[in-house]
Amino acid sequence: MGFKLCLEHVPVIASVSNRDWLISTQSIMPAIVNLLFNTVSTNTTISFSLVLPLVSILSLLVGVGGHLLMWLVLMRNPRRRSKPSSVLLLNLSFADLCALLTLPCVLLSASSQNWQLGGGVCVLLSFMTSLTAGVDIFSLAALSVLRYRIVAPSTRPPATPTQVAGTVAVIWLVSIAMALPKVTYIQFDSGCTWSVGRGHWLGFLVPAFLVYYVAPLLCIALHCGLIITHLYRCRGTLAADHRNKKATALLIGSTLVFAISWLPYYVLEFVNVLSPSLNSVSSPESPASSSTAPSPASSTEVSLLWEVASLSAILLICLAPCWNPPLYFLLSKPALRQLRGLLPIMHQHWRAATFLQHIVPKHAPTQPHSQPGSQHVPQNILEVTHPQ
């Protein structure tokens, strides 16, 4: 349920001239990475094959760089990296990094308009993208529970390292269990496809929406509400309150980014499955959808709107893993101080190199050969005054 899943399911309205071809292929859903770029490029207004690679490159560079800085700051301080919240943050960051590393497949698919990586990579990529999305949101939910136990220790004692390790293991096991069933429906026949009917599609979409979106967000909202209520009722020291508010703001910010990034995708998925009036290449087989065809005028209007909505949903999900590092450094003053402490080291090396270039004299230019009868001036005065 990651980048490739969002690309595979984004519906593309087919033109009326391609209706016969559409009906004959409705039983095959687009694949985990294959957005049917040939159809998109020829029958739509927006060039997915141009926009997606540009956004993927931007997301890959910015996201990987930000997460590496985040890892560097957290791992350099032994006291900080042993905290339960830091362990969950690193787990969240690792899931985002795995999701970002799948973006080169988007670049390859968009540029070549075909799947060229083989069946094994197709299955592995489908599994990894669903896995990382689950680890992402489940880590945020675990952070909300941990944050509440830190702010209100009277309810339950703070989490121990063993409990945190067990929580991380459960997060990965649940995410693996949710990702495995989808892989069994992947078919590779010179193309990466996910063949499933409308009923089975709802069987995947509804549980994914509830487990990957609704339930974790409700858990986070509940615990954030309890945290805010506790902070206003039980005021502690000014420094502790400020630190807790910053940590809660980081949790809320990361959750809002996830919710906003994935909501358009789920809305489009449900509209695509439940609306029989939308004849799309990515829709599963349905007698109602195959027998009902929109008029050319309405098809054109819906097509353009659907393209804009689909592209917006894709871009939001592709950019989602990039936001956590900026939020972390903006809302965590200790982390920002450590990051600033790393930058002067590089800055001092650069200033030292520049200073040496200014104080060390440059080599004197080679003197031209003296003409006959002209006086030769030595380059080094020591050669003249050196005693015999």
The answer to the question of residue 300 being in a domain is yes
CATH of the domain at 163: 1.20.1070.10
3-state secondary structure of 13: strand
Q: Tens digits of per-residue pLDDT, 323-369?
A: 999 988 888 777 777 777 777 665 566 666 665 566 655 554 555 55
Residue 303 lies in a domain: yes
Q: Tokens for 174?
A: 């649940």
Domain ranges, residue 132: 3-341
Instruction: For residue 359, tell me if it sits in a domain.
Output: no
Provide the number of structural domains found in the chain. Answer: 1
Does 368 fall in a domain?
A: no
In a domain, 379, yes or no: no
Distance CA 149, CA 89 (A): 16
Q: How much is the pLDDT for 174?
A: 93
Task: Enter the DSSP assignment of 213.
Answer: I
- Would you list the DSSP string of 161-206? HHHHHHHHHHHHHHHHHHHHHHHTTEEESSSEEE---HHHHHHHHH
Beta-carbon contacts of 35 under 8 Å, excluding residues fewer than 6 positions away, are 7, 8, 10, 12, 48, 109, 110
Report yes or no on whether pTM surpasses 0.75.
Answer: no
- 377 burial via Cβ count (<10 Å: 0-12, 13-18, 19+): exposed
Q: What are 193's strand-pairing partners?
A: 187
Query: Is 176 a member of any domain?
Result: yes
pLDDT of residue 75: 86
The answer to the question of residue 387 being in a domain is: no
Q: How confident is the model at residue 273 (pLDDT cuts 50, 70, 90)?
A: confident
Instruction: Assess if residue 384 is contained within a domain.
Output: no
Q: pLDDT by residue (tens digit) across 157-187?
A: 778 888 999 999 999 999 999 888 777 766 6
Helices (H), the chain: 3-9, 19-25, 37-43, 48-76, 78-81, 84-100, 103-112, 118-151, 161-183, 198-209, 215-233, 238-274, 287-291, 296-319, 324-331, 333-359, 382-385
